[in-house]
Amino acid sequence: MNHLITAPELANTLSTGTPPALLDVRWQLGGPPGRPQYATGHLPGAVYVDLDTELAGPPGADGRHPLPYLAVFADAMRAAGVRSDRPVVVYDAGQGWAAARAWWLLRWAGHPDVRVLDGGLASWTASGATLTSEIPVPSAGDFTPAPGALPVLTADEAAALARTGVLLDARAAERYRGDVEPIDRVGGHIPGAVSAPTTENVTEDGTFRGTGALAARFAALGAKDGAEVGVYCGSGVSAAHEVLALAVAGIPAALYVGSWSAWSSDASRPVATGGLPG
């Protein structure tokens, strides 16, 4: 299955009589908001989807970006023209994290054909393609979420997997070590987890590394030979990018959606620090 699409491939697809549903998922931790940027210029036909309110539920004990309420997610997807029998392409203008979150949610919810624009908005403009400020009004979609198509982990399951399989921590290495923690209650990592920063999934231009390079990267981290693999990050956004990179490499992986924001909110859960899994 192809999980990525290049800018030239997308341009060709959009020129056909049956283009994919196109979602603009611009988002950046701490802002600025993506909707005004979308209104200024976006890919032709793209509909804006808000990560904080439509691709996540309210923050709380389950983390900063827990799974969205299914009714809210379904309404947002149908309003964006998403149909079960129509491909979907998602993109953002940052590191690909938000687009990966949308990809993961749609796949988890049972959509069979979702791809991420490799390199995001930058790859589109670098290819010479244009943007528009025209806001489309798509025909209503019919997508009905059927959760469970991709695996998820609870906190207890993530803790167990860190001992029996491979649990990858997709945050920056300094947050994994506990040197700094700008957001959550305490720094460090889930005991047994392996540091695997999401930034190492991509090349300097923001496109994903090749399948072979990704497979080699994850094999070096222990994700090989049929090992059970799980991923977490700060709040389940950048970890979706890691799950996507693993999928490109042909490695299935489960997502701990609550991630460190949920884990660290419970003072009874153990915390490891330093550069080793612990």
Torsion over CA: 194, 199, 202, 208 (sign): positive
Integer-rounded Cα Rg, in Å, for the chain is 18
pLDDT of residue 52: 95
User: Please, which residues have CB within 8 angstroms of residue 212's CB and are 6 or more apart in sequence?
Assistant: none
Q: How many CA atoms lie within 13 A of 140 on its CB side?
A: 4
Q: Look at residue 70 in the predicted model and tell me its pLDDT.
A: 97
d(CA 183, CA 102): 23
Same fold, 4-126 and 155-263: yes
| C-beta of residue 230 within 8 angstroms of C-beta of residue 165 | yes
**Amino acid 16: pLDDT:** 86
Would you state the pLDDT for residue 231? 98
Residue ranges per structural domain of the chain: 4-126, 155-263
Q: Which residues are catalytic?
A: 233
Which pLDDT score, from 0 to 100, does residue 30 have? 76
Return the CATH architecture of domain 155-263. Answer: 3-Layer(aba) Sandwich (3.40)
Q: Which residues contact 30 (CB under 8 A, 6 or more apart)?
A: none
Q: What is the pLDDT along the chain (278 residues), one digit of tens a residue?
A: 899 999 999 999 998 888 999 999 999 887 778 999 999 999 999 999 999 999 999 999 999 999 999 999 999 999 999 999 999 999 999 889 999 999 999 999 999 999 999 999 999 999 999 999 999 999 999 999 999 999 999 999 999 999 999 999 999 999 999 999 999 999 999 999 999 999 999 999 999 999 999 999 999 999 988 899 999 999 999 999 999 999 999 999 999 999 999 999 999 999 999 999 98
Task: Point out which residues pair with 231 in neighbouring strands.
Answer: 168, 255
**pLDDT at residue 107, as a whole number:** 98
Write the CB contacts of 59 (distance below 8 Å, at least 6 apart in sequence): 65, 66, 261
Q: Quick one: tokens of 201?
A: 């999934």
E-strand ranges in the chain read: 4-5, 21-24, 47-48, 88-91, 114-117, 166-169, 194-195, 229-232, 254-255
Distance CA 35, CA 101 (A): 17
Residue type, 135: I
99 in Cβ contact with 25 (< 8 Å): yes
pLDDT at 192: 98
- pLDDT value of position 10: 97
Secondary structure percentages of the chain, helix, strand, coil, to 5: 35, 15, 55
Identify whether the C-beta of residue 42 lies closer than 8 Å to the C-beta of residue 48. Answer: yes
Q: Which CATH architecture has domain 4-126?
A: 3-Layer(aba) Sandwich (3.40)
- What token pair was written down for 107? 């796949």
